[in-house]
Amino acid sequence: MSGQRLGIGFIGSGFNARFHMQGFRYVRDADVLGVWSPNAKNAASAAKYARDLDVGDAKAYKTITDMVADPRIDAIWLNGPNHARIENVEEIVDAVTSGKGTLKGIACEKPLGRTVAEAKHILKLVEKAGIMHGYLENQFFSPQVAVGHNLIWKRGAANTGRPYLARAAEEHSGPHGPWFWNGIQQGGGVLNDMMCHSALVVRQLLSEPGKPLSDLKVKRVTGHIASLKWTQKHYAAQLKRDMKVDFLKAPSEDFASVNIEFETPEGRMAIGEATTSWSFVGPGLRLSAELLGPEYSMKWNTLESGLDLFFSRAVKGKTGEDIVEKQMAEQGQMPVVVNEAIAYGYEAEDNHFVRAFLSKEKPLLTWHDGLDVVRILMHAYKSAELGKTLEYKENGVDKFVPQVGQGTWKPR
């Protein structure tokens, strides 16, 4: 695109890509112009969805190379499944380095890779090609998290000292698509799928705004994983029917917790506690966080939305997600998340990376941050497998592949 607008091409056409497209309704300097998916029908459907949202004159492309080669496309939003990450990035980079197209940037969804080796590989590829990169972590940009974080540090930490304990959680009833439940394709279970959010959020909250997250050094990691619900015979049968995965033969964890010990720049300890669950029962997706310091605290819970509806037994209708993501009921007292794309941070992160790729802002999160998250997750998996706390070593899990990611994990 010419001028000061960014033409966006999407790799991926599913749930996550469409959440981003909703976010682009509030982004001023960009247009969604392309979609590629290995399923041409899905690509066409997602392109129509973008046009219906009026976020750009999107069209479906036959190949990633065709999309990168189109001079209308300035940046790629990488939203495909985890197991396709390497081949997707390799095709993008090949299209650029061979001169078929140019890009101002690539924004990649979490996790950056299923393993440290994968994450390092694609980071090396894009940096060798000279392409700017951004790590898409929506909760980092959630308005409540961002505003609370800044206020706590401006008022509380400035007067009484830095915070020392952060907690974060993401919980729902389970993913939308079959590949998320497949440990080999996804790279793990709920720890790999959702702890990437929570592990980064606790580090963010404990870090001074404007300073690199790496200023807060990771010292030790303790991880626990379990299958609490979905390996029970009734629920395993439901998964096999609906998602075509057999958790009795190849399970993934549906609960995970991680304790991260950080060292502050002053040499003091700070603690991050994070939990994630696919076995949560409630109205729907629940994101939450807490931050505590010497004389202050903050809390965030997306289900404390400010709007509740009540439907009696007489109100009957189709199941859906018009009230909250991962909605589990249509009757009773229901909290409503009014605009999820804004509440969860998609709008703010999309706006930020558009401005970053237009050289109007410095990227707040890059693939280096995504690599750091993968390192923490792999330490957590290894800790869970060994049953002990691990000293954090930057290169200590470079070749590690979790048992869940190999399809060999046996829950207790």
Contact predicate 400/382, CB 8 Å: yes
Higher pLDDT residue, 253 or 306? 253
Q: Regarding beta strands 332-335 and 75-78, do their DSSP bridges make them parallel or antiparallel, or are they unpaired?
A: unpaired
Mean pLDDT over residues 46-64, rounded? 98
Contact predicate 275/219, CB 8 Å: no
pLDDT at 1 exceeding the cut of 80: no
Task: Give pLDDT, residue 317.
Answer: 82
CA angle 203, 25, 282 (to 5 degrees): 55
Contact predicate 331/311, CB 8 Å: yes
3-state helix, strand, coil in the chain (%, to 5): 40, 20, 40
Average pLDDT value for the chain: 96
What are the beta bridge partners of residue 289?
168, 300
282 burial level (CB within 10 Å; 0-12, 13-18, 19+)? middle
| Model pLDDT for residues 5-29, shown as the tens digit of each residue | 999 999 999 999 999 999 999 999 9
| Model pLDDT for residues 192-207, shown as the tens digit of each residue | 999 999 999 999 999 9
Distance CA 376, CA 125 (A): 22
pLDDT confidence band for 323 (50 / 70 / 90): confident
What are the beta bridge partners of residue 364?
none
Among 332, 334, 361, 331, smallest CA distance to 348 is for 361
pLDDT at 2 exceeding the cut of 70: no
Token code pair at residue 278 = 């696919």
For the CA atoms of 363, 365, 366, 367, the dihedral, rounded to the nearest 10 degrees, stands at -160
Higher pLDDT residue, 356 or 331? 356
| Model pLDDT for residues 286-297, shown as the tens digit of each residue | 999 999 999 999
Higher pLDDT residue, 397 or 412? 397
Sole residue written with tokens 């809390």: 299
| Model pLDDT for residues 86-102, shown as the tens digit of each residue | 999 999 999 999 999 99
Sole residue written with tokens 């898409």: 136
| Model pLDDT for residues 99-117, shown as the tens digit of each residue | 999 999 999 999 999 999 9
Distance CA 274, CA 259 (A): 7
Contact predicate 206/163, CB 8 Å: yes
Mean pLDDT over residues 323-334, rounded? 89
| Model pLDDT for residues 378-391, shown as the tens digit of each residue | 999 999 999 999 99
Q: Which long-range contacts (CB under 8 A, 24 or more apart) does 357-361 make?
A: 357/6, 357/74, 357/75, 357/104, 357/105, 357/107, 357/132, 357/134, 358/4, 358/6, 358/29, 358/104, 360/29
Contacts of 355 (CB under 8 A, 6+ apart): 29, 361
Task: Give pLDDT, residue 176.
Answer: 87
Helix (H, G, I), strand (E, B) or coil at 49: helix
Helix (H, G, I), strand (E, B) or coil at 385: helix
Contact predicate 358/340, CB 8 Å: no
Task: Give pLDDT, residue 364.
Answer: 97
Percent over 90 (pLDDT), the chain: 93
Token code pair at residue 360 = 């109007």
Predicted TM-score (pTM) of the model is: 0.95
Helical (H) or strand (E) element with 41: helix 40-53
pLDDT at 49 exceeding the cut of 60: yes
Distance CA 405, CA 347 (A): 32
| Model pLDDT for residues 132-170, shown as the tens digit of each residue | 999 999 999 999 999 999 999 999 999 999 999 999 999
287 burial level (CB within 10 Å; 0-12, 13-18, 19+)? buried
Task: Give pLDDT, residue 3.
Answer: 56
